[in-house]
Amino acid sequence: MFADLHLHSRYSDGTYEPGQLVAEARRHGLGVIALTDHDTVEGCAPAAAACAAAGLEFVPGTELTAEKDGHELHILGYYIDVEHQPLLAEIRRFQAVRQDRIREIVARLNRLQVPLQAEEVFALANCRAPGRPHVARALVRAGLCGTLDEAFERFLKQNRPAWVPKFKMSAARAIELVHQAGGVAVMAHPGLNHSDELIPEMVGAGLDGLECFHTKHSTAMAEHYLELADQYHLLVTGGSDCHGLSKGRPLIGTIRLHYEHVVALRQRAVQRRAAAGLPPPPRPT
Ligand code: AMP
Ligand code: FE
Ligand code: FE
Ligand code: ZN
């Protein structure tokens, strides 16, 4: 049995409904999926229901935007209690920051004589965690850019005229938040962060695992992170980081993580849940 533990739905910047993701997962012969939308857990309930109906095992998750020493890092939280009030309160704060950022990006576009409105972006995003991909889609839909790439290249990329930095929590805080919600904290796509030197300190802060397998990791990178995981006694995870149709071809199916890693992840979650005073995650069916 194989898993994909990194998927985005339309509750963040993916295009698929959770149910569509589950159907795609089934079509690709996956037995386990995790939903890891950016800074939200809203899609987890519908994804869990769709998985139960389709006979797939579901791992609730999120991908928290964080930073350490000037590097943007994404912390995956697995088996979190998606009804944990302190986690939800913190997530709501980050969602408000994301919404303010959209307004600021649009204000900058307007100063550049690009007549987009924030409401158009919010209507298109239709979720609580809007981001730059939604602005790009709104620009294309309004005929103000030809392609999503053009939108990023002309306006939205770092240091482009409508770029607005994103407020991020510290990586240590993200790890703590995941643990408080009874979850397991994993560093997403370490090969894209160019910050291996931060890993020892993050291990000190309680990091549980490394996403060794990722669509954008070369075989050499995967091997490198497998070695680091071994060295620091970290769990190994992997996922496609599929965003549906928003970044070209859907990536689901490109990463097939062995089930043994899911078992180890769940075992750690049982410990994290107990330490947080929470009941264990639901048994896989
Ligand atoms: P945000 O959370 O608003 O900073 O947006 C980050 C999202 O934008 C991530 O899912 C990235 O993969 C996506 N993204 C960043 N740069 C580009 C780009 N040049 N083209 C398409 N998507 C991008
Ligand atoms: Fe994304
Ligand atoms: Fe990420
Ligand atoms: Zn992601």
Distance 239 CA to ligand 4 centre (A): 9
**Pocket of ligand 1, beta carbon within 6 A:** 13, 38, 131-133, 148-149, 152, 157, 166, 247
pTM (predicted TM-score): 0.95
Closest CA to 209 of 161, 166, 265: 265
Question: Which pLDDT score is estimated for 90?
Answer: 94
At the topology level of CATH, where does 91-156 sit?
A: DNA polymerase; domain 1 (1.10.150)
C-alpha to C-alpha distance for 35 and 19, rounded to whole angstroms: 11
What's residue 270's pLDDT?
Answer: 97
Q: What is the residue extent of each domain of the chain?
A: 91-156
Per-residue pLDDT of the chain (285 residues; tens, 9 = 90+): 999 999 999 999 999 999 999 999 999 999 999 999 999 999 999 999 999 999 999 999 999 999 999 999 999 999 999 999 999 999 999 999 999 999 999 999 999 999 999 999 999 999 999 999 999 999 999 999 999 999 999 999 999 999 999 889 999 999 999 999 999 999 999 999 988 999 999 999 999 999 999 999 999 999 999 999 999 999 999 999 999 997 678 999 999 999 999 999 999 999 999 999 999 998 887
C-alpha 114 to ligand 3 mean position (Å): 28
Token pair, residue 175, equals 């790890």
Interval between CA 74 and ligand 4 midpoint (Å): 8
Q: How many Å apart are CA 9 and CA 28, to the nearest integer?
A: 17
Between the CA of 136 and the centroid of ligand 1 the distance, in Å, is 9
Position in ligand 1 atom list of the atom nearest CA 243: 10
Structure confidence at residue 167 (pLDDT): 84
What contacts 213, CB < 8 A, 6 or more positions away?
222, 236, 237, 238, 239, 255, 257
Which numbered atom of ligand 1 lies nearest the CA of 135? 3
Ligand 4 centroid distance, CA of 111 (Å): 31
Q: How many Å apart are CA 148 and CA 170, to the nearest integer?
A: 30
For ligand 3, a single-atom ion, the residues with CB < 5 A are: 74, 188
Which residues are paired to 214 by β-bridges?
239
Convert the pLDDT of each residue in 197-223 to its tens digit: 999 999 999 999 999 999 999 999 999
Query: Atom 19 (ligand 1): residue with closest C-alpha?
Result: 152
Nearest residue by C-alpha to atom 23 in ligand 1: 133
91: left (phi over 0), alpha (psi -120 to 50) or beta: alpha
Which residue owns the Cα nearest ligand 1 atom 3? 131
CA atoms within 13 A on the CB side of 183: 28
* 38 Cα to the center of ligand 2, angstroms: 7
- From first CA to last CA, the distance across the chain in angstroms is 13
The protein residue with its alpha carbon nearest to ligand 1, atom 21, reads 149
